[in-house]
Structure 1
Amino acid sequence: MNLSCAIIDDEPNAVNLLEMFIQQTTQWELKGKCYDALEALTFLKDHSVDFIFLDINMPHLTGMELASLLPPTTKIVFTTAYSEYAADSYLFSTIDYLLKPITLKRFLTATQKIESYFGNNEPARQPIQPAIDYDYFFVKSGKVLQKILLSTILYFEGEKEYVRLITGQEQLLIYRRLKDIEEQLSSPFVRVHNSYIINTKQLTKVEDNHIHIADKKIPISEKFRDGFMAEINKRRF
C-alpha cells in the first residue's frame, strides 16, 4: 500500500532503523525525518503525511506534548522504550504503540495494522448511520412499555441476549442484543466496547483508556477506540 509517513525521534540510530525497515519491507514514502519536536512542528505545517512515527522521550517537548499540539486527526504510531505511556496514547489518534528496541517481527506486525487501518478493514471505524432521529423511544421491560428520554441515558450494557439500560434514576433490562440497539442510535451514542454503548454527553472524563460516567468506569476496547475518539475530537480544543 502506498502511504506517506514521517519519523520524529531524537535518536539517530532509532531513526535509521525505522528508515531501513520502511525501505526494505513497505512501499511507503518516508517524507521526512525530524530529530526534535520543534523541527517536527515546522515540518508538519508544510508537509502532509498519512501518519507519523513519534518518539515519546524527547528534549524540549515530549512526544505526548507534541501530539497535543497537532490536529486531533493526526494518525500516530508511538515509539518508546517505556510501556507506562501506553494508556495515555489512547487520548490521540493512535494506530499502534511500539516498544523499543523495535524488532523486524514487531515492525511487520505494525505494518499490517497500519495498512489495515488505512484500508478501512475495520468495520467499527465506520460511522454509525442513524436509523432514528428522535429525542425519546419506548422500551418494553417486563409487562411495561416505558418512555425513555435519550438525554437521560448514561449507557447501555450488553449481557448476552439482554441489554441493561442505565439512566441517572433507574436501570431497565431489555430483551434485545446490543448490536440491534446500536443500529438504531446515532450521535451522541457511541459503541466503545463489545459490552457498552455510551452517551458521550454524559461522560465526565477519559482517563487511562477508560470512560467515566457518573460512578461507572467503562473500558474502551481497541476495536471501537477510533470511532469513539473521532466523536470526541469533534469537540476537542
Structure 2
Amino acid sequence: MNLRCIIIDDEPNAVSLLEVLIGQTTQWQLLGKCYNALEAIEFLKKHTVDFIFLDINMPHLTGMELAGLLPKDTKIVFTTAYAEHAAESYAYQTIDYLLKPITLKRFVAATQKIDACFGKHASPPESITTKPEADYFFFKTGKTLRKILLDEVLYFESEKEYVRLVTGTEELLIYRRLKDIEEQLPQPFVRVHNSYIVNTRLLNKIQDNHIYIGTKQIPVSDKFREGFMEVIRQRIF
C-alpha cells in the first residue's frame, strides 16, 4: 500500500531509524523529514500526506501542541520516550503510540495497524460495533436470577470461568465467559482489556493508559485501545 507519510522529530538519530524501518518493511512514500514543528507546518501547507510520525518532546512547539493545530482528520503515529502521554494522544486521530527506542518487532506491529486503518473504512472496529439497546439484564447467580440495571454497572471483570459484575454497591459472580457477555452488551459498554469491560458513562478519568472507575484502576491494553478511544473521542470537547 503506497501510503504517503512524513517524519517530524528533532532527533536526527530517531529520524534516521524511522527512515530505515520504513524503507525495509513498507512500500510507503516518505515525502519528507521535518526537525521541528514550524518546519512541519510549512511542509504540510504544500504537501498532502496520509499520516505523520510525530515526536512529542520537541522545542518551540511540542508534538501535542502541533497535533492541536493540524486539521482534525490528520492521522498520527506518535513516537516518544514518554509513556505518560498515551491517553492524551488519543484525543487526536491517533493510529498508534510508539515508545522509543522503537524495535523492529514493534514497528512491524504498527505498520499492520496503519495499513488496517487505511484499508478498512467500510466497517467499524469490531470492539465498537453497535449492539441492541437494553436497560437491564437478568443474571444467574447460583439458583437465582438477579435483575441488574445496566446504568448501575461499573465494569465486568473476568475471573477464570466466572465474570465479576461490579456496581457502586455490590459485586456478583456470574458463571459466563466475558466474551459471551460482551456480545450482548450495548454501548456505552466497551472492552478495554482481555479481563475487563467498562461502562464508559461511569468512568472518572483516563490517565497513563489506565481507566479510573469507582475505586478501581483498570489498564487499557494495546489490543483494545483504539476501539475504546474511538468511543471516547465522540465525547471530547
TM-score by length of 2: 0.82
Q: Distance in 2 between matches of 1:24 and 1:116?
A: 14
- Gap change, CA 1:75 and 1:206, over 3 Å in 2: same
- Is the CA contact 1:128–1:186 (under 8 Å) kept in the aligned structure 2? no
Count, aligned residues: 228
Q: 1:76 to 1:150 in 2, by over 3 A?
A: same
SS of residue matched to 1:198: strand
Q: Offset of 1:198 from its aligned partner?
A: 0.1
Q: In structure 2, how many angstroms separate the alpha carbons of the residues matched to 1:47 and 1:184?
A: 45
Cα deviation code 1:6-37 (max 9, x no counterpart): 11123455435533443454210123333322
Contact 2:127 2:224 in 1 (8 A): no
Alignment deviations for residues 138-163 of structure 1 (CA, whole Å, 9 cap, x no partner): 11112221211111110001111111
Partners of 1:50 and 1:183 in 2: how far apart? Answer: 33
Equivalent positions of 1:75-114 (< 5 A) are 75-80=75-80, 82=81, 85-91=82-88, 92=90, 93-100=94-101, 106=103, 108-114=104-110
Q: Distance in 2 between matches of 1:233 and 1:119?
A: 21
Q: Is residue 156–residue 166 contact of structure 1 (8 Å, CA) maintained in 2?
A: yes
- Residues 25 and 108 of structure 2 are in contact (CA less than 8 Å); yes or no, is this contact kept in structure 1? no
Matches within 5 A, 1:146-225: 146-225=146-225
Q: 1:4 touches 1:31 (CA, 8 Å); kept in 2?
A: yes
Q: Distance in 2 between matches of 1:142 and 1:181?
A: 17
Shift of 1:232: 0.6
Pick from 114, 117, 138: which aligns with 2:113?
117
Aligned partners of 1:64 and 1:89 also within 8 Å: no
Retained in 1: the 8 A contact 2:165–2:173?
yes
Where does the alignment leave 5 or more consecutive residues of structure 2 unmatched?
Answer: none
Q: Counterpart in 1 of 2:5? A: 5
Out of 52-61 and 35-44, give the one that drifted further. 35-44
- 4+ aligned runs moved over 6 Å, structure 1: none
- RMSD, aligned CA: 2.8
2:54 aligned counterpart, secondary structure = strand
Q: Alignment partner of 2:232: what SS?
A: helix
The amino acid across from 2:63 in the alignment is: G
Question: For the Cα contact (< 8 Å) 1:163–1:174, is it kept in 2?
Answer: yes
Residues of 2 paired with 1:46 and 1:234: CA distance? 30
For the residue of structure 2 that corresponds to 1:190, the secondary structure is strand
Aligned 8 A contact 1:128 1:183 in 2: no
Once the two structures are TM-superposed, the CA of residue 186 in structure 1 deviates from its matched residue by 2.4
Q: Does structure 1 retain, via aligned residues, the 8 Å contact 2:190–2:228?
A: yes
1 CA distance for matches of 2:224 and 2:25?
28
Is 1:138–1:145's contact at 8 Å kept on the other side of the alignment? yes
Q: Which amino acid aligns with 1:34?
A: C
1:17-63 Cα deviation digits (max 9, x unpaired):
53344345421012333332234345556755333211222111112
User: CA–CA distance in 2 between the matches of 1:147 and 1:43?
Assistant: 58
Q: Against the structure 1 CA distance between its residues 14 and 204, is the aligned structure 2 distance closer, same or farther, given a 3 Å change threshold?
A: same
Alpha-carbon contact 2:95-2:113 (below 8 Å) kept: no
Percent identity over paired residues: 62
User: Structure 1: which 5+ residue stretches go unaligned?
Assistant: none
* C-alpha separation in 1, matches of 2:48 and 2:159: 44
Tell me the SS of whatever aligns to 1:60. Answer: coil
DSSP-derived class of the 1:10 partner:
coil
- Are the structure 2 counterparts of residues 143 and 23 from structure 1 closer, same or farther at C-alpha, using a change threshold of 3 Å? closer
Matches of 1:188 and 1:71, distance apart in 2: 28
